[in-house]
Amino acid sequence: MKIIDEMLNLDLLTHEQHVQISAWIARSSSPDEILQMPAPLWQAVERASQTMGINEDLLRPPSLDAGDAVLG
């Protein structure tokens, strides 16, 4: 839900889209139910995700450089 809120704050979703998407997620009891979201809402989320670069972030390999962090 935090990402959906950020999409609204960045004006990537309309207020109405945000309300509808948030309500759909809130009443869904499983990821499979979320995937049943109506196509226009999914398209809005996909456009906003592309603008935010979310897909690229998810596909980026994890950084193995911990800098000066001490593990142990």
Q: What are the domain boundaries of the chain?
A: 2-54
Residue 29 burial (C-beta neighbours within 10 Å; 0-12, 13-18, 19+): exposed
**Stretch 10-32: mean pLDDT:** 97
pLDDT grade, residue 54 (50/70/90)?
confident
Cα angle value 53/55/59 (rounded, 5°): 120
Residue 46 to residue 55: CA distance in whole angstroms: 9
Q: pLDDT (tens digit, 9 = 90+) per residue, 58-69?
A: 677 777 665 555
**Stretch 24-43: mean pLDDT:** 96
- What is the model's pTM? 0.75
